[in-house]
Amino acid sequence: MPVHPIEWRYGSKEMRSIFEVKTRFQLMLDVEAALAKALAKVGLIPKADAAKIAESASINLVSMKRIQEIDKEVQHETMALVTALAEVSGESGRYVHLGATSNDILDTATALQIREGLNIIEADLRKLLRVLLEKATKYKDTIMVGRTHGQHAVPTTFGMKFAIWASEFGRHVERLMQLKPRVLVGKMSGAVGTGAAWGGKGQNVQRLVMEELKLSPAPASNQILQRDRLAELITFFGLLASSMEKIAREIRNLQRTEIGEVSEPFMTKQIGSSTMPQKRNPYRCEKICSLAKVIRGNAQAALENVVLEHERDLTNSACERVIIPESFLLIEDMLKTSIFVLGDLIVFPDQMKRNLELTRGLNMSEAIMIELTRKGMNRQDAHALLRKCSAIAIVEVKPLLAVLSRDAEVTKYIPAVELEKLLDPNEYLGDASAIVQKVVRELQPLTK
């Protein structure tokens, strides 16, 4: 029976298969095969023996059952796999794992898993960016209330929100491309990184192994790859998760009954509450917010794993067995959920308009202040005047236009007939449309 939710609830079957035990063992065997071939090429073992080891390095021949049987006896997973591979390699088995240390195999196999996992993450990330740009274009002229500190501010457009989000995710695509060369790295350098067991041929052995596996070789390592690489990867996931949480939280807030400007998709037979039939809870966005906490926690753990003693200790190992697959599966689930929610987001422009009018023009006071300054009033005096008029409008529960129209200081600079146009939110959107179009144009190439 599954225990951890990533075994059944989060992440795709494709991503889960990358981190299954069977896949992990096969990738370790792939590294052993690449090592045998490299050793043969530099003349350290016979080519026929290397060919036999490579031929035997299949999970269909080296059974998981046998690896696990040996592991119970020796309490060492890598040595159990090495022993099982040696058994099925016949006489050639005497050369299996020659000169290597466990983490030559483990770290390099992990890099292979990471590469496959990042291929999925990258595809989803680019798809999410594409959705954000599509929505930015669709809603570039959809006016709505801007909010700062939870209060109504000057108007903005819904498209601007998406353009801002898209810019952030464009940076995430760039970050992913930048970190790949630092993360997709393997090592084959022996017990403390000197490659001493290969008699001066260690660097050639490592180079040949990594060429076979299409990974970059670590320029220097001790018994393990240094964990700043994994810390960077999972910290990147933390950034990505936080950006998705920010969007999800915004949707949750805009879906509040009192605001009602958007709604995440709601299926025909979907149930919001077990007791309140009317409920349409934004549970997908809430799930995103919840999982982001786990990812950020994993980033902290990955940073702790950077600090190891001497040429290595084992305090990172058990932790990484948890945080690496967990982070990949959860971040993928968050990406796919974000794509679905934003792709099918329900938007209520009429409610946006109604909310825009709730303050009866108060959120347009800046426009009047700017116009007063433009026509000659001291900016600070204009600010004070609008504060006074706004306070009167609030106390008297009147539109700001009514208060401004009867104020002699205001009408001295701005005729009453001009005030109404200045208080029109549609006339105070600045460069919003142009900004959206520029963002879409510049980020479109990153969606491919």
Query: Looking at 89, 273, 327, 338, which residue is catalytic?
Result: 273
CA-CA distance, 310 to 386, in Å (whole number)?
A: 66
The first and second tokens of residue 397, run together, are 């529960």
CA distances from 68 to 29, 61, 106, 274 (A): 15, 14, 16, 45
SS3 at position 217: strand
Whether residue 273 lies in the annotated active site: yes
CA distances from 29 to 25, 85, 334 (A): 6, 8, 32
Picking from 115, 106, 17, the residue whose alpha carbon sits closest to that of residue 329 is 17
Helix axes 432-443, 102-138, angle to 10 degrees: 140
Q: Are 316 and 108 spatial neighbours (Cβ–Cβ below 8 Å)? A: no
The first and second tokens of residue 197, run together, are 């067991």
Q: Are 218 and 237 spatial neighbours (Cβ–Cβ below 8 Å)? A: no
Q: Are 131 and 216 spatial neighbours (Cβ–Cβ below 8 Å)? A: no
CA-CA distance, 52 to 62, in Å (whole number)?
A: 13
Give the CA dihedral 248, 251, 252, 258, nearest 10 degrees: 170
149 Cβ contact list (under 8 Å, min separation 6):
none
Picking from 82, 91, 78, the residue whose alpha carbon sits closest to that of residue 57 is 82
List b or e across 38-56, with b for residues whose CB sees 16 or more CB atoms inside 10 angstroms.
bbbbbebbeeebbebbbeb
Residues known to be catalytic: 149, 273
